[in-house]
Homo-oligomer: A and B are copies of this chain.
């Protein structure tokens, strides 16, 4: 329901002010950042510098947390799970090769990390969420493979490498996407995907609910819906209204980020209240992810980004900087980060550190 044809609540409430209880609760030097924020609040909106201060304060509260090591370890574990999920060389070899080519092409594995972190923040054993973490990466990869197709965005390069259809041909690329999609559900539903020391059959209701979340974020309420509206808008001469732009991003980007977090929380045994808090967190970072992408596209060189910079402008795609201007886009990013961080206040500080740092990473990444 939540994702279906509703616009992001933040789009309608962009001017409201959210306090930053997490930073305060963290026992960090919150007075200074609070004062800074209050000053900006008097202008009716907050400044990017305030958020940077907040993030720094939050970071200071968890100085022991090594984000880079955290992400690196998760990426290794997720890559191992993905590698094991698709047999190399087994027939039909072309299909498995194409699936592996797309799936193991690198990437930061942000979605799996969100899934694992959400499982842990509600107190679940992290390994329980590994099949779900692998599944969300399979779904993400599948959507990239199909979106890159000649009949869609017709992209020849992805992460600096030739796209799946360029290497394996269009029919195999379509079929590899289909196979990855079904594999994601098979992986979540199979006892064999889970580590031997956990027993997913103890909690089949969680698995059913998580599968429902994953399925919902793909089709006509998620990724596919976003791509359909994106295709309709590309190359059109009319100005795309902000609501439509957000519809596209909420479906193409935020839906799967939301599902990644929510599925992790479900598998970890989160309460309904915890799951809904984390859903709000995920929606904010989902939109944040896209806003930052758009900002980077106009402020960074191609070399820094590892992809063609300014492509969105060149192809006449509607972006946040184009619609709001660069400064207002940055302010919107600030608010989204703040809203996300706010949702983490009720969780154990230490357990929430990965999700906090993931939000900061998404806001402040340089490519």
Q: Count contacts on A: residues with CB < 8 A to the other chain.
A: 54
Kindly specify which of A43-51, A58-66, A94-102 makes contact with the partner chain. A94-102
In the complex the two chains form, is A91's CB within 8 Å of B5's CB?
yes
User: What's the least CB distance linking A316 to chain B, in Å?
Assistant: 18
Query: Using a CB-CB cutoff of 8 Å, which residues 81-109 of chain A contact chain B?
Result: 86, 90-92, 94-96, 99
In the complex the two chains form, is B151's CB within 8 Å of A186's CB?
no
In the complex the two chains form, is B178's CB within 8 Å of A151's CB?
no
Copies, count: 2
User: What's the least CB distance linking A77 to chain B, in Å?
Assistant: 23
Q: Is A198 an interface residue (CB 8 A)?
A: no
User: What's the least CB distance linking A353 to chain B, in Å?
Assistant: 32
User: What's the least CB distance linking A107 to chain B, in Å?
Assistant: 20
User: What's the least CB distance linking A207 to chain B, in Å?
Assistant: 5
Kindly specify which of A19-27, A68-76, A226-234, A304-312 makes contact with the partner chain. A226-234
Q: Is A204 an interface residue (CB 8 A)?
A: yes
In the complex the two chains form, is B174's CB within 8 Å of A218's CB?
no
User: What's the least CB distance linking A147 to chain B, in Å?
Assistant: 9
Distance A214 CA – B209 CA, assembled complex (angstroms): 17
In the complex the two chains form, is A189's CB within 8 Å of B208's CB?
yes
In the complex the two chains form, is A185's CB within 8 Å of B185's CB?
yes
Interface string of A219-239 (1 = CB under 8 A from B): 110111101110110000000
Closest chain B residue to A165 by CB distance? B151
Q: Is A179 an interface residue (CB 8 A)?
A: yes
Q: Which residues of B contact A204 (CB under 8 A)?
A: 204-205, 207-208
Given contacts A174-B146, A220-B99, contact A215 B201 (CB under 8 A): no
Query: Using a CB-CB cutoff of 8 Å, which residues 145-203 of chain A contact chain B?
Result: 146, 149, 151-152, 169-172, 174-175, 177-183, 185-186, 189-190, 201
In the complex the two chains form, is A229's CB within 8 Å of B181's CB?
no
Distance A182 CA – B179 CA, assembled complex (angstroms): 12
In the complex the two chains form, is B228's CB within 8 Å of A172's CB?
yes
Distance A345 CA – B161 CA, assembled complex (angstroms): 57
Q: Is A118 an interface residue (CB 8 A)?
A: no
Q: Which residues of B contact A181 (CB under 8 A)?
A: 178, 181-182, 219
Closest chain B residue to A173 by CB distance? B151
Given contacts A182-B181, A220-B96, contact A212 B189 (CB under 8 A): yes
Given contacts A149-B174, A204-B205, A208-B204, contact A182 B218 (CB under 8 A): yes
Q: Which residues of B contact A229 (CB under 8 A)?
A: 91-92
In the complex the two chains form, is A224's CB within 8 Å of B179's CB?
yes
In the complex the two chains form, is A175's CB within 8 Å of B190's CB?
no
Name the one of B86, B151, B180, B219 contacting A183, with C-beta atoms under 8 angstroms: B219
